[in-house]
Amino acid sequence: MLILGIETSCDETAASLLKIERGKFKVLKKVIASQISLHNQYGGIIPELAAREHIKKIIPVIEKALSVKPKLIDLIAVTEGPGLITSLLVGVETAKTLSLAWQKPLLGVNHLQGHLAANFLKETPSFPALGLIVSGGHTELILLQDYHHQKKIGQTRDDAAGECFDKIAKLLGLGYPGGPIVSQYAAQAKPNQIKTKLPRPMIQSKNYDFSFSGLKTAVLYTIQKRKAFLQNQKFIAEICYESQQAIIDVLLKKTFRAAQEFKVNSIILGGGVIANQELRKQFLIQAEKMSSSPKILIPPLEFCMDNATMIAVAAYFQYQKLNSLKKQNLKNNWRKIKANPNLEIEES
């Protein structure tokens, strides 16, 4: 089976050609056109500019990803949300046009499902599993009985973790995107000499929700009190280290408490913030400390950020489920016809 995946939910224009054979995934070609240099000058993403860039790049990106003739493609998959509406429209309308022109089936895919699905490229997790999605717009905990039976058990009440990284970097005048920059400065700090302490919002709450706006505000107040220190690299490194560790501490505490309560066999990580090396390392260390030792699944760095391969993988599972439901529906109809040969069955 060949699936063409298309992703334009934010500021990445991406396409990927995925081959599935006997349940194994093979990426034939993947292309991503980034807009970081465009939005960096504004300190964040400008939706109108993002949409215009998608319009310019979507066709060239898809053409580069097509290493086979369109007639050989079995399915087109496109991100339908969540994301920036103007960016999403570019991808969706392009996918609809190709579907019509090539006479190929089209599936809309949830972007967050894609982040979880990225882990299935290499192996299938042992269920039940707990999914943690951490990106610029989302921070969520998902309980999975299997891939098709998922339940959200927690989410951010305000800022997502990725957004918090971006805002803190902006407050410190470090640039955009904030996550990688904050991480670089944090690595320069000496943990045993950190004097600045920042809050860990909602870390002791009994639910599995998150909140990062308070952390951002705490950084703002700290900077306002010590403006002269903004030229001090040691001070900036301290703020970055404490900010990063505060976010990691909350994610660790909530995730592993949920893993124990629901007795999961695997913890699945997904989203752009999962590219953070310190976060990846501390999740692996924490898993080893647990008596139940749930297996940690972390996607390769190239599949943490927004990409079309994860959309194609999610579409494959969605397609399999639709086929299964269709076959079951046919079986049920056949049973009804055998019981009553004169019965008329409506097509669905």
Same domain (yes/no): 92, 210: no
pLDDT at 182 over 50: yes
Tokens of 87: 């960016």
* Residue range 120-139, pLDDT digits in tens: 998 999 999 999 999 999 99
By the 8 A CB rule, do 86 and 58 touch? no
Residue 334 has pLDDT above 60, yes or no: no
Q: Is residue 338 part of a domain?
A: no
Taking residues 340-347, report their average pLDDT: 48
- Please provide the average confidence, as pLDDT, over all residues in the chain: 93
pLDDT band at 347 (very low <50, low <70, confident <90, very high): very low
Average pLDDT over residues 263-274: 96
- State the pLDDT confidence band at 336, using cuts at 50, 70 and 90: low
Number of separate domains in the chain: 2
331 or 164: which leads in pLDDT: 164
Per-residue pLDDT averaged across 312-316, rounded?
Answer: 97
Contact yes or no for 316/17 (Cβ under 8 A): no
Instruction: State pLDDT tens for residues 66-95.
Output: 999 999 999 999 999 999 999 999 999 999
Average pLDDT value for residue range 19-36 = 96
pLDDT at 348: 40
Q: Residue type at 239?
A: I
User: Quick check: is 283 in a domain?
Assistant: no
**pLDDT tops 60 at residue 146:** yes
- 235 close to 243: Cβ distance less than 8 angstroms: no
pLDDT for 324: 85
Its domain, for residue 255, covers 127-264
Same domain, 72 and 178: no
Are 103 and 152 in the same domain? no
| Confidence check: pLDDT of 343 > 50 | no
Q: Are residues 110 and 164 in the same domain?
A: no
- Ranking 149-153, 266-270, 288-292, 334-338 by mean pLDDT, the lowest is 334-338
In order, the DSSP letters of 303-336 are GTSS-HHHHHHHHHHHHHHHHHHHHHHHHHHHHH
Is residue 236 one of the residues assigned to a domain? yes
Give the span between the Cα atoms of 147 and 341, in whole angstroms. 37
Q: Does one domain contain both 131 and 108?
A: no
Whether 18 and 96 have beta carbons less than 8 Å apart is answered as no
In this structure, of 40-44, 79-83, 315-319, the range with the lowest mean pLDDT score is: 40-44
Residues 139 and 254 in one domain: yes
Claim to verify: residue 259 and residue 229 sit in the same structural domain = yes
How far is the CA of 98 from the CAs of 4, 71, 111, 265, in angstroms?
10, 11, 20, 40
Confidence grade of residue 346 (pLDDT, cut at 50, 70, 90): very low
User: Could you tell me what percent of the chain has a pLDDT over 90?
Assistant: 83
Question: Comparing 4-13, 178-187, 220-229, 260-269, which segment has the lowest mean pLDDT?
Answer: 220-229
| Residues 133 and 242 placed together within one structural domain of the fold | yes
How many CB atoms are closer than 10 A to CB 263? 10
Q: Average pLDDT, stretch 172-181?
A: 93
pLDDT tens readout for residues 190-224: 988 888 899 999 999 999 999 999 999 999 999 99
- 145 and 255 housed in the same domain: yes
pLDDT of residue 192: 85
Q: What average pLDDT does this structure show over 289-297? A: 87
Whether residue 241 lies inside any domain: the answer is: yes
Same domain, 199 and 172: yes
Question: Do 183 and 301 touch, CB atoms closer than 8 A?
Answer: no
**180 and 64 together in one domain:** no
Domain presence at residue 39: yes
Tell me if 290 is assigned to some domain.
no
What pLDDT score does 228 carry?
81
Confidence of residue 43 (pLDDT cuts 50, 70, 90): confident
157 falls within a domain: yes
Query: How far apart, in Å, are the Cα atoms of 113 and each of 270, 271, 273, 336?
Result: 9, 10, 16, 36
What span, in angstroms and rounded, lies between the C-alpha atoms of 16 and 310? 9
Q: What is the SS3 assignment for 146? A: strand
Query: Which residues make Cβ contacts (< 8 Å) with residue 86, sequence separation at least 6?
Result: 47, 48, 50, 51
The CATH number of whichever domain residue 210 belongs to comes to 3.30.420.40
Inside any domain, residue 345: no
DSSP symbol at 73: -
Q: Which residue has the higher pLDDT, 226 or 86?
A: 86
Q: Where is the domain boundary, 215, 237, 264?
A: 264
Band of residue 344 on the pLDDT scale cut at 50, 70, 90: very low
Is the same domain home to 72 and 183? no
pLDDT at residue 331, rounded to an integer: 65
Range list of β-strands (E), the chain? 2-7, 12-21, 24-34, 75-81, 106-110, 129-134, 139-146, 149-155, 266-270, 295-297
Residue 179: the pLDDT is 94
DSSP 154-200: EEBSS--HHHHHHHHHHHTT--SSHHHHHHHHHTTS-GGG-------
